Amino acid sequence: MRFGILKAGTATRRTRERVGDMDAQFMALLAQPGQQWETFDAEHGEVPADPGAFDALLITGSAASVCDADPWIERLLETIRTAYAQQVPLLGICFGLQAVAQALGGKVAPNPQGWDLGVAALELTEAGRRLPTLAGAAQPLQILESHSDIAVALPPGAVVLAASPRTPVEIFTLGERVLCLQGHPEMDREMVRELLEKRSQKGLLDPQRAAEGETSLRLTPHTAFLQGWLRAFLRDGRMPTAA
């Protein structure tokens, strides 16, 4: 199987030296023997010439906002629209969720509650609870977060599977071939702790919010469950419907 990573951002130097850049993090989380993974430097304008040549495309996080008018973002959104039209499975993570939502008819805006940084506790919606492969998920489902934008409207036909107190759209699907998560299953707590420190130093977080984020890191993200769930989506090329 052949998968493409549309790398929309770059990890911090400390993280790159420790575990690699964003594409390496996703390959460590999701790649399995016999699969071929290719990276496209989307934040510098590189996208697949033919999205249909891939069994699935993964869109990573980014420090950018999909609301920005940068040419590379519009090129990425057009690639997402092309892939969707070709029925290529799409997996969007954080900025990737927002890019998929924006590309396919939704809307993204700054979160009125500000930055969501730390471990978030996700509650499944009724639709999420009905999905057999989420029936075994811990409740709440814990995942690392690092974002200040959110999807405020979803594409027609999209279904929200999970929400959290700060982020109303944590997981959504669109048909069987689109799965998007606002959180970061590829990250570890050290990465988020570094981001908390950097954003606090830049004045982007007030002391109370920074302390809340640091306290949340005592919780354990349910990475193993998310890893298996996302691997099944990529392997099957559609939302898994059986445990």
| Set 147, 170, 184, 222: catalytic member | 184
Q: Which of 3.50.50.60, 3.40.50.880, 3.40.190.10, 2.170.120.12 would CATH assign to domain 2-236? A: 3.40.50.880
Give the pLDDT score at 88: 98
pLDDT at residue 242, rounded to an integer: 43
Listed in order, strand segments (DSSP E) in the chain are 2-6, 36-40, 56-59, 90-93, 107-110, 116-124, 141-147, 149-153, 158-163, 171-174, 178-181
| Per-residue pLDDT at 231 exceeds 80 | yes
Query: With bands split at pLDDT 50, 70 and 90, how would you rate the model's confidence at 27?
Result: very high
How large is the average pLDDT for residues 202-223?
89
Q: Any idea where the domains of the chain sit in the sequence? A: 2-236
| Residue 186 among the catalytic residues | yes
Would you tell me how many other CB atoms lie within 10 Å of the CB of residue 185?
22
* Whether residue 184 lies in the annotated active site: yes
pLDDT value of position 232: 93
Annotated catalytic residue, options 145, 147, 186, 222: 186
Would the pLDDT of 243 be above 60? Answer: no
- Per-residue confidence at 203, pLDDT binned at 50, 70, 90? confident
Which of 94, 145, 170, 180 is an active site residue?
Answer: 94
Distance CA 73, CA 8 (A): 9
Predicted pLDDT of residue 157 = 95
pLDDT tens column, 36-71: 999 999 999 999 999 999 999 999 999 999 999 899
* Residue-wise pLDDT tens digits, 177-202: 999 999 999 999 999 999 998 888 88
pLDDT given for residue 241 in this prediction: 53
- Side-chain-side CA neighbours of 116 within 13 Å: the count stands at 27
How confident is residue 72, by pLDDT bands cut at 50, 70 and 90? very high
Average pLDDT for residues 150-167, to the nearest whole number? 96
The two structure tokens encoding residue 188: 């570890």
- Specify the pTM: 0.95
Is 180 one of the catalytic residues? no
